[in-house]
Chains A and B, each alone.
Chain A
Amino acid sequence: MADAFLIVSIVVALLILGIVGFYVLVKYQHPEDANEAWFPKVVVWSGFVVAGATVLLLPLDVANNEGYPGETLAEWVALLFFAGVEALGIRLEQNNVDWYFGGRLDSLCPGLLASTFPWLRVPFTNELHSSSLSPARHHFQDVTATIHEYAAASTWILSGPSSSGSFPSSCSS
């Protein structure tokens, strides 16, 4: 695990850079440009942040290694990145499968990706409380049910049968 302090510093530094860049952009711009030229504005703002971040990477580099062995920030970033990709992939796949098997092919959506996005917003409520269950959804619910049962079992083990009520039926068998 990378140093939490470093991660907080990075987030704070990026926030400050972003806010300062935005402030300078708004404060210095000519009124004629006020609601024009959005693309250059984004370029200017992001260019400022990139230049600032490049310079600030030096102290980060120093603070990150310090000559100590152990997991560095880059590994942590890579881990975060792949974990994020994996999570997103699973979610997207889940929804795609869901969508295909859910019998909604006739509801003419403009694009596959676009049609999967609405599902992204309500994955859990939808998956657990939907009445018309597709095969894929059945499968998913089985998995979630098992997880729930494990959770219940662990609380039962930790706190004893009297406090958490009856022992889950599926685990007792």
Chain B
Amino acid sequence: MDLIWSIFFWLIPVFMFILIPFSTFYYEADDGLLMAGTSVGANAKKKSRLWDAFKWEFATLVIVSLAFFLTYYFLSFADIPVQEYSPTVATLFVYETFPAFNASDTSQLLPFESSQLSAMGVYDRQVVASNWENPEPSSVRVQLTLATFFAGLMAFLGWFVFALFGGVGIAAMPLDLIMNFVNRPRHMDALEFAEAKQSIRDRVNELVQIGELMKIEREQKGRTGAGSSGGFCGKKNAAMSRKEMKEEKRTLREFKKAVYMLDNDVDDFKNCTSNYNKFNPLIPIGSLLLGICAFVISIFWILHIIVFVLPPSNPIAPFLNNYFQWFDQWFPLFGVLSVAIFAFYLLLAAVKGCFKFGLRFLFFTIHPMEINKTYMSSFLFNTALVVLCSLPVVQFCSASFADYARYATVRQIFGTQIHYLAFFNWFWKTNFFIYALLAVALLTALYLGCKPRDTSSDGLSLRDRLKSRRA
């Protein structure tokens, strides 16, 4: 099993730092805007793009491998705590039992019975006293293999992402699925129809205006700047200060978010009106059922964390561990299947959480997964997220299901070697990330409970801000 784990521990950094960035660089797909240009497929540009991608990839690799090998050089040992005993063999062992003989033939020994044992005598005490237990806990220093250390490092990096997005996702997933049912398409009467149509028309006009304004602004800046290519991936405009760049990126993200929300609303509007007869009524019901399942899994996860993972000395109850073991006795596949469901749910929650977080707070570009609307760049982004989160999920699951997985190799890897890794052990021992995950999940549940609807920022204010900047 060590071999198989090592293979996957190698595969994850390979995907994370070689394959995914390379394909992202190659397609220059920082955001969906540029994809339109690339899919035209100008062959003349391809060669230079390949070269560009190699250069970027090479730079990434140099930085990453430098970081990896330096940390490996300095931090790749684990101090595993042990309790020391020093037995003394020199003492003569005298067992104070009284042999029982056959009553008729005293040379014949009878088989031993526990009733023959006597209370601890002088010699027993001597033997016990000669065994010395060191009261101070000491430790054994263990050097980790490259694969195991990288697994620990990748898990550490992944935890930052997973604690945030996983936490958001655990709370947001059931809520969103249930909201899908609550806000399912309903038939509109004429007045509602007219109002909805007018509102959508207004929003479309606003966004078109904003788009035009942004285009003009960009062209102006492109003209003032000396020979810049103007795009976000192009050279930094000399005339544009860092703050302006940031501001422009933020505006663009806001704009994209507003467009995304409008797109969704238009789809909803169509489902209420022109597509009403074609709309499958089972979709909201399915969404409700999935939402209930997700709700159950989320609640179970949170309870499990509180009951099993976080108590500092001893778990209060084995909880899910018992359930898996019971299921495994019944039919082996079911236990495995339920572990898989619980683990996979965390990965899905991370993707969901990332998207939700991006939609609510404008720190980064949103990469929604939409049927028939997802560009390769969004796919790559979400794949990177899933790959990055897979190791924290494994570590988290192996700690959560420690009782269930007590004989597994993974407990030895994550529970011992990586758990006591130099420097990183503070994060694992104090359950830092798990507290963070729980806190984020609870905060998200509160926040979404108060504000269940995603709202785009007001188009009018965005437009006014752009206008004021031009003036």
Using Cβ atoms and an 8 Å threshold, which residues of chain A touch B86? none
Smallest distance from the beta carbon of A43 to chain B beta carbons, Å? 5
Contact B1 A61 (CB under 8 A): yes
Given A44-B380, A48-B386, the answer on whether A9 and B343 have CB atoms closer than 8 Å is no
Contact A30 B375 (CB under 8 A): yes
Q: Which of B19, B335, B376 contacts A47 (CB 8 A)?
A: B19
CA gap between A146 and B39 in the complex, in Å: 61
- Whether A132 is near chain B, meaning CB under 8 Å from some CB there, is no
Smallest distance from the beta carbon of B35 to chain A beta carbons, Å? 7
CA gap between A77 and B410 in the complex, in Å: 18
CA gap between A91 and B397 in the complex, in Å: 44
Contact A40 B379 (CB under 8 A): yes
CA gap between A44 and B375 in the complex, in Å: 12
Contact B23 A65 (CB under 8 A): no
For window 37-86 of chain A, which residues contact chain B by CB distance below 8 Å?
Answer: 37, 39-41, 43-44, 46-48, 50-67, 72-74, 77-78
In the complex, which range does the number of interface residues on chain A fall in? Answer: 35 or more
- What is the predominant secondary structure among interface residues of chain B facing chain A? helix
In the complex, which range does the number of interface residues on chain B fall in? Answer: 35 or more
Contact A29 B12 (CB under 8 A): no
Contact A43 B343 (CB under 8 A): no
Smallest distance from the beta carbon of A9 to chain B beta carbons, Å? 7
Q: Which of A27, A43, A74 contacts B4 (CB 8 A)?
A: A74
> Can you list 5 A-B contacts with CB-CB less than 8 angstroms, sorted by A residue number?
A44-B383, A51-B383, A54-B12, A55-B397, A58-B401
Using Cβ atoms and an 8 Å threshold, which residues of chain A touch B407? 62, 65-67
- Whether B369 is near chain A, meaning CB under 8 Å from some CB there, is yes
Given A32-B36, A55-B393, the answer on whether A47 and B20 have CB atoms closer than 8 Å is yes
For window 192-249 of chain B, which residues contact chain A by CB distance below 8 Å?
Answer: none
Beyond A33-B376, A55-B340, A55-B347: 19 further Cβ-contacts under 8 Å? A5-B332, A29-B376, A29-B379, A30-B376, A32-B35, A33-B35, A37-B27, A43-B15, A47-B20, A48-B386, A52-B347, A57-B4, A57-B394, A57-B410, A59-B343, A60-B336, A62-B405, A64-B1, A65-B408
- Whether B129 is near chain A, meaning CB under 8 Å from some CB there, is no
- Whether A31 is near chain B, meaning CB under 8 Å from some CB there, is yes
Contact B41 A36 (CB under 8 A): yes
Using Cβ atoms and an 8 Å threshold, which residues of chain A touch B343? 55-56, 58-59
Using Cβ atoms and an 8 Å threshold, which residues of chain A touch B386? 47-48, 51
Contact B371 A54 (CB under 8 A): no
Using Cβ atoms and an 8 Å threshold, which residues of chain A touch B150? none
Chain A: CB-nearest residue to B398: A58
Q: Which of B339, B374, B390, B404 contacts A30 (CB 8 A)?
A: B374
Chain B: CB-nearest residue to A12: B333
List 7 tightest A-B contacts by C-beta distance, closest first. A61-B408, A59-B336, A40-B23, A67-B407, A47-B383, A51-B390, A28-B374
Contact B335 A59 (CB under 8 A): yes
Using Cβ atoms and an 8 Å threshold, which residues of chain B touch A37? 23, 27, 38-39, 376
- Whether B409 is near chain A, meaning CB under 8 Å from some CB there, is yes
Chain A: CB-nearest residue to B19: A43
Using Cβ atoms and an 8 Å threshold, which residues of chain B touch A72? 1
Contact B3 A77 (CB under 8 A): yes
- Whether A25 is near chain B, meaning CB under 8 Å from some CB there, is yes
- Whether B11 is near chain A, meaning CB under 8 Å from some CB there, is yes
Smallest distance from the beta carbon of B320 to chain A beta carbons, Å? 13
Using Cβ atoms and an 8 Å threshold, which residues of chain B touch A5? 332
Contact A77 B4 (CB under 8 A): yes
CA gap between A33 and B41 in the complex, in Å: 11
- Whether B391 is near chain A, meaning CB under 8 Å from some CB there, is yes
